[in-house]
């Protein structure tokens, strides 16, 4: 296999939730492989912009709140206007709410499902149409979770949404593989991000989690970069409907 299989020069990736954390780590990995980045965020991704531009690739920031589907058409339109369209979609934007299931509110349920599952599906749909209409190959990378495989505790809507991401990844792959679109997912393990701050600051839970990770550490956003480049590149052209765990061995324990 040639290193050129991982070369993303001339490609453009839409990466949602890329101002910090996992999204930033994947955006930087894709940029390092030569990919232009369309960064979709609720807040200005200034650090991500600086670091991507230092790598010498194009960058476009799109201000959008994926709590609703309203911004989706504009995201694709801006990518088209700046870079002639997008080849890769990384559905990373997500939120979490923590509470015991007996106390969980309908609002916390709806807000999480709207961002983590509904907007993911309809942005993927719009991207797929864009690829098919333009006769271009597409790569969709959804961000799943360890809770796509397990139940977790105190995060009912997050668990439901991430289980749904795994299922939708398979469904979309079944429908779109023959149309030249690869749909796969990455399931990050326990990563040092804003979403896990409460867990990392809870001595008992942090000790329990680290005790199960064979690698012996929390993951870093950079740990997802290689997986993202693989699934975005021609190296994965015959990979469809797969959810790749990047978890330090958590699921093997």
Burial of 103 per CB tally in 10 Å (0-12, 13-18, 19+): exposed
158 is catalytic: yes
Q: What is the 3-state secondary structure (H, E, C) of 171-234?
A: HHHHHHHHHCEEEEEEEECCECCHHHHHHHCCHHHHHHHHHHCCCCCCECHHHHHHHHHHHHCH
Tell me: the pLDDT tens digits for 103-133? 999 999 999 999 999 999 999 999 999 999 9
Q: For residue 164, give the 3-state DSSP assignment.
A: helix
* Residue 169 DSSP symbol: H
Taking the C-alpha atoms of residue 71 and residue 210, their distance in angstroms, rounded to an integer, is 39
Tell me: the pLDDT tens digits for 33-46? 999 999 999 999 99
Q: Where are the domains of the chain?
A: 3-247
- Please tell me the least confidently modeled range out of 86-90, 146-150, 156-160, 197-201: 197-201
pLDDT of residue 56 exceeding 60 = yes
Catalytic residue among 83, 158, 176, 190: 158
Distances in whole angstroms, Cα of residue 186 to Cα of each of 51, 57, 82, 134, 141: 23, 24, 27, 26, 7
- Mean pLDDT over 139-165 rounds to 97
Q: For residue 118, give the 3-state DSSP assignment.
A: helix
pTM value?
Answer: 0.96
- Strands 59-63 and 181-188, by their bridges, are unpaired
Burial of 127 per CB tally in 10 Å (0-12, 13-18, 19+): buried
pLDDT at 3: 60
Taking the C-alpha atoms of residue 219 and residue 191, their distance in angstroms, rounded to an integer, is 4
Whole-number mean pLDDT of the chain? 96
pLDDT at 2: 55
pLDDT of residue 1 exceeding 60 = no
Compare 238 and 194 and report the one with higher pLDDT.
238
Tell me: the pLDDT tens digits for 175-200? 999 999 999 999 999 999 887 888 89
Instruction: State whether CATH 3.40.50.2300 applies to domain 3-247.
Output: no
Distances in whole angstroms, Cα of residue 210 to Cα of each of 12, 159, 180: 36, 20, 40
Q: For residue 135, give the 3-state DSSP assignment.
A: coil
pLDDT of residue 79 exceeding 90 = yes
- Mean pLDDT over 81-106 rounds to 97
Q: Confirm if 30 and 37 have CB atoms less than 8 A apart.
A: yes
């Amino acid at each position: 296999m040639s290193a050129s299989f991982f070369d993303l020069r001339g490609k453009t990736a839409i990466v949602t939730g890329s101002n910090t954390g996992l999204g930033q780590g994947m955006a930087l990995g894709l940029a390092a492989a030569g990919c232009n980045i369309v960064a979709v965020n609720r807040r200005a991704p200034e650090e991500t912009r600086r670091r991507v531009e230092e790598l010498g690739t194009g960058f476009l920031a799109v201000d959008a709140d994926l709590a609703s589907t309203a911004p989706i058409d504009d995201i694709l339109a801006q990518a088209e206007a700046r870079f002639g369209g997008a080849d890769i979609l990384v559905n990373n934007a997500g939120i979490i709410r923590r509470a015991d299931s007996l106390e969980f509110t309908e609002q916390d349920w709806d807000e999480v499902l709207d961002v983590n599952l509904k907007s993911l599906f309809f942005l993927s749909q719009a991207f797929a149409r864009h690829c098919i209409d333009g006769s271009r190959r597409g790569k969709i990378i959804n961000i799943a979770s360890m809770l796509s495989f397990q139940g977790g505790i105190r995060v009912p809507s997050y668990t439901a949404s991430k289980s749904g991401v795994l299922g939708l990844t398979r469904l979309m792959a079944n429908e779109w593989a023959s149309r030249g679109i690869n749909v796969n997912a990455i399931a990050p393990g326990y990563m040092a991000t804003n979403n896990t701050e409460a867990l990392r600051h809870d001595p008992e839970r942090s000790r329990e989690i680290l005790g199960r990770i064979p690698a012996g550490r929390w993951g870093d956003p950079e740990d997802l970069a290689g997986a993202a480049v693989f699934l975005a590149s021609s190296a994965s052209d015959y990979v469809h409907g797969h959810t790749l765990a990047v978890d330090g061995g958590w699921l093997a324990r």
